[in-house]
Amino acid sequence: MSALPDPDPARHPQLDWRDGGVPVSTRFDDPYFSLAGGLAETRHVFLDGNDLPARLRPGFHVAELGFGTGLNCLALAQVAAVPVTMTSFEGWPMSLAQLEQAHAAFPELADLSAQLRAGWGRDVIHVGLVELHLVIGDVAQTLPGWQGRADAWFLDGFSPAKNPAMWAPEIMAHVGRCTAPGGSFATYTAAGAVRRALAEAGFSVTRRPGFGRKRHMSVGVKP
């Protein structure tokens, strides 16, 4: 599957915008990135949580649940010194205009975000040294058929309390199935149900200090 061509407003998210240019989903009543600093949160949770960029090597594959604004992809591209692949699953892709407004909050990523927008709608989008593949649709339908193997997962759907379907045990089981031996995950949530589902999916799960006001986050490795 490829990214959705831009002019289809029925499939784009409905957004409110907070001070500082933070988009908030009206469907899930949840911000797309931290009000306390989205890029800093991404680095703390998803990069540091997966021991990146230290583990990156040519052909390294990152998979993601919840593409959102593409901030995690941009942060990965900023630190990637070798070619890597990223596959991201997204149910409600933003329009180009929405992406541009969200990206304005991160001027240090301007060159990379321009590359992302320039490729929006293509089967493969090149952002720095990241080869991005977007899979658009309900993750309950798209992830079960995915035959890839990820070396690291960014689990970044909306809050489990507000979007429980994204974090359902059967979805986490597919995350485990699609993880290479020694692969990892990181997520901002420390919800007990999510941690148990990931443990049942084959990960050794631990808690770490969270970002900002969040006391804890979760990381794990598949032995």
pLDDT tens digits, one per residue of 13-33:
888 888 767 888 887 777 888
Q: Is 83 exposed, middle or buried (0-12, 13-18, 19+ CB in 10 A)?
A: middle
Distance between CA atoms of 6 and 109, rounded to whole angstroms?
A: 22
Distance between CA atoms of 150 and 106, rounded to whole angstroms?
A: 27
* Prediction pTM value: 0.90
User: Starting from the edge strand earliest in sequence, which strands make up the sheet with 30-31, in order?
Assistant: 15-18, 22-25, 30-31
Helix (H, G, I), strand (E, B) or coil at 186: strand
Return the number of other C-beta atoms located less than 10 Å from residue 81's C-beta: 9
Distances (CA, A) of 117 to 75, 97, 139, 187: 15, 9, 23, 25
Query: Quick check: 36 pLDDT over 80?
Result: no
Q: What is the pLDDT of residue 1?
A: 31
Half-sphere exposure of 205 (CA within 13 A, CB side): 21
Buried b (16+ CB within 10 A) or exposed e, 183-211: bbbbbbbbbeebbebbeebbbebeeeebb
Q: Provide the total of helices (H) and of strands (E) in the chain, helices listed first.
A: 7, 11
Q: Which helix (H) or strand (E) holds 200?
A: helix 192-200
Q: What is the pLDDT of residue 20?
A: 65
Q: Is 28 exposed, middle or buried (0-12, 13-18, 19+ CB in 10 A)?
A: middle
pLDDT digits (tens, 9 = 90+) for 163-207: 999 999 999 999 999 999 999 999 999 999 999 999 999 999 999
